[in-house]
Amino acid sequence: MANKIQTYAEFWPYYLREHSSPKGRHLHYLGTTLALFALILAIVLQMPSLILLALICGYGPAWIAHFYIEKNRPATFSYPFWSLLSDFRMYFTWLSGKLPRELEKAGI
C-alpha cells in the first residue's frame, strides 16, 4: 500500500481484499465471537480484567490468520480504528449473509 487511505469508503474494500482467504476470515470470526463473549462476561461478572482476555481472543486468531494464511500485515497496525470497525462490520455482514456481495464489490 503506497498511498495512505484517506476515507473509510476507500478503506472498506481494501480491508476486504486483505481478508480474501475464507480460512483467514473464519479465524477472524472465531476471534470476534470469543472476544464478544469475553466482553459480555466482563460486564455480567463485573470483571474488567476480562477485557484483556477479549483483546487476546480477538486479536490472536486474527493476527495468526494474517501472518500464516493471508501472509500480509494486519491493517490494525496502520488503521487501528477503521480496522476494528471493519472487523465488526465484516463479522455482522457475514452473519447476515451479505458478505459475498461485499466481497464481490471489492473484487474478491
Provide the residue type at 27 as one letter: L
Residue 35 near residue 57, CB atoms below 8 Å: yes
Give per-residue pLDDT as tens, 6-64: 999 999 999 999 999 999 999 999 999 999 999 999 999 999 999 999 999 999 999 99
Instruction: Report the alpha-carbon distance of residue 100 to residue 107 in Å, rounded.
Output: 11
Helix runs in 45-79, H state only:
50-64
Instruction: Report the alpha-carbon distance of residue 46 to residue 5 in Å, rounded.
Output: 38
Residue with cell 487476546: 56
Q: What does DSSP assign to residue 5?
A: P
Tell me what pLDDT residue 3 has. 79
Instruction: Report the alpha-carbon distance of residue 9 to residue 13 in Å, rounded.
Output: 8
Give per-residue pLDDT as tens, 67-108: 999 999 999 999 999 999 999 999 999 999 999 999 999 999
